[in-house]
Amino acid sequence: MPVEGGSAGGGGGVRRAKQKRKSHSLSIRRTNSTEQERPGMHRDILDAQDSKLPMSVRSNLLDLFGQIEREFENLYIENIELRREIDTLNDRLSADGQTVEGGDLTKGALKTKASHSTSQLSQKLKTTYKASTSKIVSSFKATTTRAVCQLLREYVGHRDGIWDVSVSRTAPVVLGTASADHSAMLWSIETGKCLLKYVGHAGSVNSIKFHPTEQMALTASGDQTAHIWRYMVQLPTAAPVPEVSAPCDEEVDFSDKDEVEGDPDGPSECPALRLASATLRSHQGVVICADWLVGGKQAVTASWDRAANLYDVETSELVHSLTGHDQELTHCCTHPTQRLVVTSSRDTTFRLWDFRDPSIHSVNVFQGHTDTVTSAVFTMSDNVVSGSDDRTVKVWDLKNMRSPIATIRTDSAVNRISVSVGQRLIALPHDNRQVRLFDMAGVRLARLPRSNRQGHRRMVCCTAWSEDNPSCNLFTCGFDRQAIGWNINIPALLQEK
């Protein structure tokens, strides 16, 4: 992770950077350790010193070879059991043939039965083999999709890394970014022009969320507060969209010395807003994230003081303090249609808070990861998707949270994920500058292209879907100080796999 980016707290500039670097270093050691445990023949082939394969490709091949070996090991064991059954059946037939003399009819029936059983067993073995090999082949197909990912717009102007990106829910639809440079910006999605710059915080702005029905934004900051501020913007005339597209999974690494070109002092002619409509206070540490509850009358904040707080928006009064996490919180998210809140923490857990019954405020704790849970988000259905520094993303069913219904394993720590409403796609931002797309079943669909002309050059911090937008339907942001708008076209047949 780049050290030059500001910390989430806005004061100790290297705390978050050191944490991410340490996590990334640990993940590298775990990757090396995991590769040493792979089957010997595959390790020798792929871990050769003169291998020209990128680490991500090698890791993916190792996983696929491991799947192949496990599938054929299961087939081998089942084949042995089937042979034992056939031998037992043959022994019984031999014994019956000796005791029945002249019983050609019975003997023939027994032979027919044996032949029929053997045929059934053979068909079972073929079916199992076909299903297993089809599964392995589909794994290869899922990683070689030619889905089209088109970079439409770059939003450049922040002077430090961008922690969060969000899209407004009311007209006019605008893009919001929260940055370590102590500011939040609103952008025209079509032109990439800055419409408004909020500079009311005294620390890093760590998250931004838009009110569900009004032109209001909620920002969380390292100054230990969350601000609610109103905005009025006028969209400029749309500029023509450049025809720059590439198939997903294209990659050419950048040098770490590359920088995004642009005005170091920020976008020109961007009006500034300094006063908040309301300030939410009560935390004793960095406020890392904030979100609106359904209806927009209450807001929840998550802090490094290990607590999440629920506020009344109209009065700015604290309604509930949600305590129980053992370490700093990293994220909070609200359900789009129900009074549910999920908080994630460095203590490797995420918690589900239920406010649907006004008289009972229940909480459930879920231990699904082995490292910091960087984010947990709801879907429109009854699912929660969690991402972690342990390089996994897990999909959970709210009706049965005992174990995940899908697990996605990656080669880098995962930051703030997002799930599309209609297509049910998960966008994963990584420490290693990649952005990958998966479906809810855990099947990889695409990787956003990275080349000399497009893509992020530093850690990608957050993703946000905007399916109602006719042009950009996915936004990403990172510590290269820019946000990017993408048009993602996933073929329907590919999503059904």
* CA distance linking residue 328 with residue 12, whole number of Å: 15
Tokens at 64, concatenated: 């696929």
For 280-300, give the secondary structure using H, E and C.
Answer: ECCCCCCEEEEEECCCCCEEE
Q: Measuring CA to CA, which residue among 388, 475, 489, 396 is closest to residue 155?
A: 475
Do 301 and 284 contact (CB within 8 A), yes or no? no
Q: What is the pLDDT along the chain (497 residues), one digit of tens a residue?
A: 444 456 787 654 444 554 554 444 444 444 444 444 444 444 554 455 567 778 877 888 888 888 888 778 888 888 888 888 888 877 777 776 654 444 444 444 444 444 555 555 555 545 544 444 444 544 444 444 457 889 999 999 999 999 999 999 999 999 999 999 999 999 999 999 999 999 999 999 999 999 999 999 999 999 999 999 999 998 887 655 555 555 676 554 444 444 444 444 445 579 999 999 999 999 999 999 999 999 999 999 999 999 999 999 999 999 999 999 999 999 999 999 999 999 999 999 999 999 998 877 889 999 999 999 999 999 988 899 999 999 999 999 988 888 999 999 999 999 999 999 887 899 999 999 999 999 999 999 999 988 767 799 999 999 999 988 888 999 999 999 999 999 998 876 455 55
The pLDDT score that the predictor gives to residue 75 is 82
Listed in sequence order, the residues at least 6 apart from 299 whose beta carbon sits closer than 8 Å to its beta carbon are 218, 226, 228, 280, 290, 291, 292, 293, 310, 311, 313
3-state SS assignment for residue 376: strand
Backbone φ/ψ region at 483: left (φ over 0), alpha (ψ -120 to 50), beta: beta
User: What was the pLDDT predicted at 485?
Assistant: 97
- Closest residue by Cα to residue 378 from 347, 401, 348, 409: 401
First-to-final CA distance of the chain = 34
Bridge partner list, 475:
464, 485
Q: What are phi and psi of 251, to 5 degrees?
A: -150, 130
Q: Among 383, 381, 384, 363, which residue's Cα sits nearest to residue 373?
A: 384
Q: For position 265, what pLDDT does the model report?
A: 46
Q: How far apart are CA 128 and CA 464, in angstroms?
A: 41
pLDDT on residue 131: 47
Question: What gap in Å lies between CA 185 and CA 24, rounded to an integer?
Answer: 29
Q: Domain 148-495 is in which class?
A: mainly beta
What are 85's two structure tokens? 């059954």
**C-alpha to C-alpha distance for 369 and 455, rounded to whole angstroms:** 29
Can you read off the two tokens belonging to residue 160?
Answer: 């430090």
Strand partners, 392: 409
What's 166-180 look like in SS3?
Answer: EECCCCCCCEEEEEC
| CA–CA separation, 386 and 102 (whole Å) | 71
